[in-house]
Amino acid sequence: MSVLIDAITPVIGAEFRRDEGLHPSLIVCYIVSRENFAEAAKAMKKAHALLAAEWASDETLFGRGFGIYACYRWGAEYLIIKTETPFDDPTFPSLTKRFLPAYRFERQIHSLMGVTPVGHPDLRPWIKFEDWPEDAWPLRKSFDASKPMPRIFGDYKFVRAEGEGVYEIPVGPVHAGIIEPGHFRFQAVGEDILNLEERLGYVHKGIEKRFESLSWQEGSRLAGRVSGDTTVAHSLGYCMALETMTGCSVPERAQWLRALFLERERIANHLGDLGAICNDAAFAFMLYQMSRLREIMLRINHKLFGHRFMMDRIIPGGVTIDIDADGKELILEELKKLLKEFNKLVIIYDENSSLEDRVRDTGILIPDKAREICAVGIVARASGLNLDCRTQNPCPPYDRIEVNVPVLISGDVHARAWVRVEEVRESIRIIRRILETLPSGKISAECGIPSPDASGFSAVEGWRGEIIYWLQAGTDGDVNRCMVRDPSSVNWLGLEQAVLGNIVPDFPLCNKSFNQSYSGHDL
């Protein structure tokens, strides 16, 4: 039973090829003509699929032009539709009118790869700034990434609102707190937000291009630094995509240890976020309590795994560090104390009426909108979408662990906070289960090198949501392209929708409840 393939077969007819190079073989990639690329999107929309990612790859080294890929998702099923465009006519039909997240994916493809989505309503550069040379397309193979680029004069046109009493508030890129840089442009009347426009790209470090100059092994280190707070999930995503390409089978013990790291990362980040959300509603008590619990957890990470965020503990083929009986004991002891304290704090959160006044009905992302922007992760689950890769597309060991996914429908700040509360409890339960059943054996295996023109796909549920990696091997087995889709790439759109009609002083609270990554988005 395959809903997406059934929906697409009548549309693309006989004219299509299957991309045999894609791993794992469960995920299907069809190569269609440029016209059918748009038709396929229409069929996908009709089948209620979500657009998970859209990206381009420069395949000139294989003697082809550019490959444009759109990845759709329906429940557990992923389907990739690819079209090829010749080098001297780099255009493809835009999907933006059918799928909202394509709006930014396509601006990015246009800016960084120099391939034009025909019919796109807004082709202002994205991530590429106005002072870059116009013909600088860093993801093309012909681009020399080692040289600095000259600055040219240019202007970025923000959306304007005019009328009596309408004014503009520019915020950033250097924000007031200890957070990452990005620019927000508010149009407001009095205190009410009429429109919010995000402008991101300030922390564009050229990560996707950098992957192409690193070896497969070094790539997992770089993946761990796409977004520092999600280091475990990103290196896991990268390694899983690579392992499917090389056919490496990861030892069972390593798989369970990876899940242990992933759940610990989830708890630590959720604790930090819950404290920060309350702090933005001027409830500093919770910030101090939660950051204390978080710090205790990070110290145990350091003690057991040698790094507070467990960076570089996941490598292609397995993990670098094991856990012994004393370590297990320490974690169980820690979780017992943590859960007890956490539950007390949650009662305080729940009973505080002035806090409730701030977080309820603030920053609502209604379920329809969340669906429209194809939201993922916490944001989706707080707005009624039951999406979680751990249950729908489970990588081992999640196929043997039952995960309860909390879903709320109110879509406000409280819902996003409450999803985190439930997930902390659930992750504590999962970790206990992992420690109970942790199989014995080796913790890593030889990973090997993928064959030329092979590609690998993986989806991992990080603490923010679904992270997608797509790797493509080059002509002599090096990295031709590494596509990273952090959950932030789509969820940032949700913030723009959620703040409409709220007051400007509630923006920090809304923003914190989303807590999207700038670095993971800008790459």
Partner 1 sequence: MIRIIKQIIRTGIVTEPLLPEVDAEITEAGAKLEEAIRKRFRRSLTIRQVDAGSCNGCELEIHAINNPIYNCERFGIQFTASPRFADMLLVTGPVTRNMEIALRRTYNSTPSPKLVVAVGDCGCNGGIFGESYTSLGGIDKVIPVDVFIPGCPPTPQQILAGIRTLIEDPKK
Of 149, 332, 409, 503, the one binding partner 1 (CB under 8 A) is 149
Angle at 370 between CA 5 and CA 404, to 5 degrees: 75
418, with CB counted inside 10 A (0-12, 13-18, 19+), is buried
Helix ranges restricted to H, 353-472: 353-359, 367-372, 377-382, 389-392, 413-437
Asked if 496 and 198 touch (Cβ cutoff 8 Å), the reply is yes
Of 256, 309, 469, 470, the one binding partner 1 (CB under 8 A) is 309
Q: How many C-beta neighbours within 10 Å does residue 330 have?
A: 15
- Under the binding rule (CB under 8 A), the answer on residue 506 touching partner 1 is no
Q: Which residue shows structure tokens 């996707």? A: 208
Q: Cβ closer to partner 1: 181 or 394?
A: 181
Minimum CB–partner distance for residue 314 and partner 1 (Å): 15
Minimum CB–partner distance for residue 306 and partner 1 (Å): 12
Of 77, 198, 229, 426, the one binding partner 1 (CB under 8 A) is 229
Q: Cβ closer to partner 1: 186 or 342?
A: 342
- Under the binding rule (CB under 8 A), the answer on residue 85 touching partner 1 is no
DSSP symbol at 215 = -
Q: Cβ closer to partner 1: 98 or 210?
A: 210
Tokens representing residue 463 in the block: 């603490």
Angle at 21 between CA 19 and CA 23, to 5 degrees: 105
Q: Cβ closer to partner 1: 299 or 400?
A: 299
What SS3 class is residue 60? helix
Tokens representing residue 513 in the block: 């409840």
Task: Quote the radius of gyration of the chain (alpha carbons, Å).
Answer: 23
Minimum CB–partner distance for residue 206 and partner 1 (Å): 4
Q: Cβ closer to partner 1: 312 or 412?
A: 312
Q: Show contacts with partner 1 in window 250-279 (CB under 8 A).
A: 272
Angle at 146 between CA 140 and CA 148, to 5 degrees: 100
Minimum CB–partner distance for residue 201 and partner 1 (Å): 6
Q: Cβ closer to partner 1: 286 or 454?
A: 286
- Under the binding rule (CB under 8 A), the answer on residue 339 touching partner 1 is no
Stretch near partner 1 under the rule CB under 8 A, chosen from 1-9, 53-61, 305-313, 327-335: 305-313
Stretch near partner 1 under the rule CB under 8 A, chosen from 79-87, 341-349, 406-414, 423-431: 341-349
Tokens representing residue 411 in the block: 């879509």
Q: Show contacts with partner 1 in window 163-222 (CB under 8 A).
A: 173-174, 176-181, 201-207, 209-210, 221-222
- Under the binding rule (CB under 8 A), the answer on residue 54 touching partner 1 is no
- Under the binding rule (CB under 8 A), the answer on residue 158 touching partner 1 is no
- 318-324 contacts at long range (C-beta below 8 A, 24 or more positions apart): 318/250, 318/251, 318/254, 318/442, 318/443, 318/444, 318/445, 319/254, 319/257, 319/258, 319/261, 319/443, 319/444, 320/443, 320/444, 321/257, 321/443, 322/253, 322/257, 322/443, 323/257, 323/260, 323/438
In sequence order, which residues have a C-beta less than 8 Å from that of residue 100 and are 6 or more positions away?
A: 372, 373, 374, 493
Measured N-to-C along each axis, helices 252-280 and 231-246 cross at an angle, to the nearest 10 degrees, of 150
Of 48, 161, 167, 288, the one binding partner 1 (CB under 8 A) is 288
- Under the binding rule (CB under 8 A), the answer on residue 36 touching partner 1 is no
Q: Show contacts with partner 1 in window 345-374 (CB under 8 A).
A: 345, 347-348, 351
Q: How many C-beta neighbours within 10 Å does residue 172 have?
A: 18
Minimum CB–partner distance for residue 91 and partner 1 (Å): 25
223, with CB counted inside 10 A (0-12, 13-18, 19+), is buried
Minimum CB–partner distance for residue 151 and partner 1 (Å): 8
- Under the binding rule (CB under 8 A), the answer on residue 495 touching partner 1 is no
Binding-site residue total for partner 1 (CB under 8 A)? 59
In sequence order, which residues have a C-beta less than 8 Å from that of residue 64 and are 6 or more positions away?
A: 84
In sequence order, which residues have a C-beta less than 8 Å from that of residue 394 and are 6 or more positions away?
A: none
Of 185, 225, 328, 429, the one binding partner 1 (CB under 8 A) is 225
Minimum CB–partner distance for residue 139 and partner 1 (Å): 11
Q: What is the end-to-end Cα distance of the chain in Å, rounded? A: 36
Short-list 71, 95, 96, 74, CA closest to 82:
71
- Under the binding rule (CB under 8 A), the answer on residue 327 touching partner 1 is no
Per residue, the 3-state secondary structure of 155-171, as one string, reads CCCCCCCCCCCEEEEEE
Minimum CB–partner distance for residue 350 and partner 1 (Å): 10
Q: Cβ closer to partner 1: 43 or 268?
A: 268
Q: How many CA atoms are closer than 13 Å to the CA of 252, on its beta-carbon side?
A: 8
Minimum CB–partner distance for residue 218 and partner 1 (Å): 8
Minimum CB–partner distance for residue 248 and partner 1 (Å): 23
Of 364, 426, 518, 521, the one binding partner 1 (CB under 8 A) is 518
Minimum CB–partner distance for residue 165 and partner 1 (Å): 27
- Under the binding rule (CB under 8 A), the answer on residue 98 touching partner 1 is no
Stretch near partner 1 under the rule CB under 8 A, chosen from 138-146, 190-198, 408-416, 464-472: 138-146
Would you tell me which residues interact with partner 1 (CB under 8 A)?
Answer: 129, 136, 138, 143-149, 173-174, 176-181, 201-207, 209-210, 221-222, 225-229, 231, 272, 285, 288-289, 291-292, 294-296, 298-299, 302-303, 308-309, 311, 344-345, 347-348, 351, 517-519
